[in-house]
Amino acid sequence: MHALPSGYRFRPGRTDDAAALQALVFGCLHEYGLTPSPEGTDADLADVERHYARTGGWFEVLLDPAEAVIGSVALHPVRPGTLELRKMYLAATHRGRGLGRASLEHALAEARRLGAVRVTLETATALREALRLYERAGFRRLAFAPHVCRCDAAMELELPLERERDGFTISTDLRRFNLAQVHTLITATYWATGIPEDTVARSLAGSLCFGLFQGAEQIGLARVVTDRATYAYLCDVIIAEPFRGRGLGRWLMETVMTHPDLAGVRRFQLVTRDMHALYAAFGFKASDHPAGHMEIRRPDIYRPAQG
pTM value is 0.90
Of the candidates 110, 54, 62, 113, the one whose C-alpha atom is nearest the C-alpha of residue 85 is 110
Contact criterion met (CB below 8 Å) for 210 and 222: yes
When comparing pLDDT for 172 and 144, which is higher?
A: 172
> 162-283 architecture in CATH?
3-Layer(aba) Sandwich (3.40)
Contact criterion met (CB below 8 Å) for 88 and 103: yes
Say whether 235 sits in a helix, a strand or coil.
strand
Of the candidates 160, 195, 153, 191, the one whose C-alpha atom is nearest the C-alpha of residue 175 is 160
Using pLDDT thresholds of 50, 70 and 90, give the confidence band for residue 304: confident
pLDDT at 242 over 90: yes
Per-residue confidence (pLDDT) for residue 276, from 0 to 100: 94
Per-residue confidence (pLDDT) for residue 307, from 0 to 100: 53
List all residues 6 or more positions away from 101 whose beta carbon is below 8 Å from its beta carbon: 2, 133
Q: 145-195: per-residue pLDDT in tens?
A: 888 889 999 999 999 999 999 999 999 999 999 999 999 999 999 999 999
Per-residue confidence (pLDDT) for residue 3, from 0 to 100: 82
User: Of 99-113, 133-147, 269-283, 291-305, which range is least confident?
Assistant: 291-305
> Is 162-283 in the same CATH topology as 9-158?
yes
Nearest-5° angle of CA 5, CA 6, CA 8?
75
- The class of domain 9-158 in CATH terms is alpha beta
- CA-CA distance, 158 to 287, in Å (whole number)? 33
Alpha helices in the chain (DSSP H): 18-31, 48-55, 99-113, 128-136, 179-187, 197-205, 248-257, 276-280
Per-residue confidence (pLDDT) for residue 144, from 0 to 100: 86
Per-residue confidence (pLDDT) for residue 257, from 0 to 100: 97
What's at 54, amino acid-wise? R
Residue boundaries of the structural domains of the chain = 9-158, 162-283
Q: 15-63: per-residue pLDDT in tens?
A: 999 999 999 999 999 999 999 999 999 999 999 999 999 989 999 999 9
- CA-CA distance, 94 to 298, in Å (whole number)? 61
- CA-CA distance, 35 to 41, in Å (whole number)? 10
- CA-CA distance, 294 to 261, in Å (whole number)? 26
